[in-house]
Amino acid sequence: MAERLTLARPYARAAFEVAVSEGKLQTWMEAMNQLAALAATPELQELLVSPTLGSTHKAALLTDILGELPDSSLGRFVAVLAENKRLLLMPEIRELFQLMKAQQENAVDVAITTAFPMNDEVLQQLGTALSDRLGRQVKIASSVDRGLLGGALIRAGDTVIDGSVRGRLDKLAKAMNA
pLDDT of residue 96: 92
Judged against a pLDDT cut of 70, whether residue 95 lies above it is answered with yes
In the chain, the number of structural domains is 2
What would the pLDDT profile of 123-132 be if each residue is shown by its tens digit?
889 888 888 8
My answer on whether 115 and 128 are in the same domain is: yes
Q: What is the pTM of this model?
A: 0.64
Q: Tell the burial category of 94 from Cβ atoms under 10 Å away from its Cβ (0-12, 13-18, 19+).
A: buried
The last residue of a domain, from among 71, 102, 133: 102
What would the pLDDT profile of 53-77 be if each residue is shown by its tens digit?
888 888 888 888 877 665 678 888 8
Judged against a pLDDT cut of 60, whether residue 1 lies above it is answered with no
What letter represents residue 130's amino acid?
L
Strands 137-144 and 159-162: unpaired
Rounded CA gap, 80 and 35, in Å?
A: 14
